[in-house]
Amino acid sequence: MPTAVQLIAEHRNVDQLLLPTGSILFERGESATALYAIERGLVELTTGGRDRLRYGDGEVFFYEDLVAEDTHHSRTARAITPVHVLRLDRNSFLELIHGHPTLVLSLLSGQHRRLRQQRLEAAHFY
């Protein structure tokens, strides 16, 4: 079964972005119109404080903002290494899910792994 990043990469409407370190993919508060998948590199998402998330090779992020009631980005995304990022607009993402319903399970599984890892890392601070 192809990965989420592979399915996104194969979509006819995907935008491929090659960005240098320090590039902003989107700012907090901007309209969320697309999801992002990282083929190579690291992206850091911040809310402005110490709250930071990092995404790397093979990870998909901000599909949550596409389905939320408030369709604005809740974080700013900045490349912390040179990155190759795939961007897929909301309608194309919904089309992709319709054609590949197991994609949702893959995304949920990835989110579950990320939350479990964050919980384990947070346990070291108590």
Give the model confidence (pLDDT) of 13-52 as tens digits: 999 999 999 999 999 999 888 989 999 999 999 987 777 8
Bigger pLDDT: 29 vs 102: 29
Give the model confidence (pLDDT) of 43-72 as tens digits: 999 987 777 888 999 898 876 666 666 688
Mean pLDDT of all residues in the chain? 84
Q: Please check whether residue 66 is in contact with residue 93, taking contact to mean a CB–CB distance below 8 angstroms.
A: yes
Q: What is the pLDDT of residue 36?
A: 94
Is residue 81 scored above 90 in pLDDT?
yes
Helix or strand run (H / E) with residue 99: helix 90-99
Q: What is the pLDDT of residue 74?
A: 84
- Spatial neighbors of 103 by CB under 8 A, at least 6 apart, are 4, 7, 96, 97
Percent pLDDT > 70 in the chain is 81
Q: The sheet that has 15-19: what strands, in order across it?
A: 15-19, 83-89, 34-40, 60-61
At residue 114 the predicted structure's pLDDT band, cuts being 50, 70 and 90, is low
